[in-house]
Amino acid sequence: MSENNPPINRPLETQRRAIVVGASSGLGAALARRLAARGYRVAAVARREAELAALRDSAGPGLICPYVHDVTETEQVPLLFDQITRDLGGLDLIIYAAAVQPPVKLNEYDFAKDEAMIRTNLLGAIAWLNQAAARFERARAGQIVGISSIAGDRGRVGSPVYNAGKAGLDTYLEALRNRLSRHGVTVTTIKPGFIDTELLKNAARTFWVVSPDEAAALTLAAVDRRRQLAYVPPRWRLVSLAVRVMPSFVFRRLSF
């Protein structure tokens, strides 16, 4: 399952440890690379072994440790989480970035696609972040980050279940935050707009597109500030506000 290198010897500092789930490409890979550049030891979790190996090789020795895992196999998560935290020697930060968004036509109701999105985008997040929440609550420290989407702010006509899954993730993360804040644990919800990744191919129209690396930099800036909620880039907050206050009879006429 893993290809681990010995930790770097840092006698004058404590090496921080992170898990990035959904790390083989896009924003997840960019986050793993940036964390490694900061000196974190990163467990990179994803399905695609070749991409994980390339990610490992792009960083310094021992900084990125790949773990091949399909997040829909939720029964594997407790044992794998324990293995990773033992391999890393602890855990300070977990980021759940795994997501799928197959193309969905406006007149399409395909349960197989819907189930895949819920299992990856929501249930996978719950399986991984529950493990981290229990550990961090006991330790009274730690940071949890969930990569949601502006798509979760309202029920759009395009890809209803993608929207629903992200809305469910938002509520789950808020509930974790309300539980864990009293124990010294930070939970951050990241809500990106359009990022130049594979998911962008299924968007009907795009604007304000940013690179995965730019989105990763903005995400980690929010993590550093221990923000509860951050839109990436921040200007999407204004779009979200407009969308959320729009009357339903107006919103339903929109085609996105």
Catalytic annotation, residues: 162
d(C-alpha 192, C-alpha 230), whole Å: 8
Instruction: Look up tokens 């990436």; give the residue.
Output: 232
d(C-alpha 118, C-alpha 112), whole Å: 10
Specify whether the CB–CB gap between 183 and 139 falls below 8 A: no
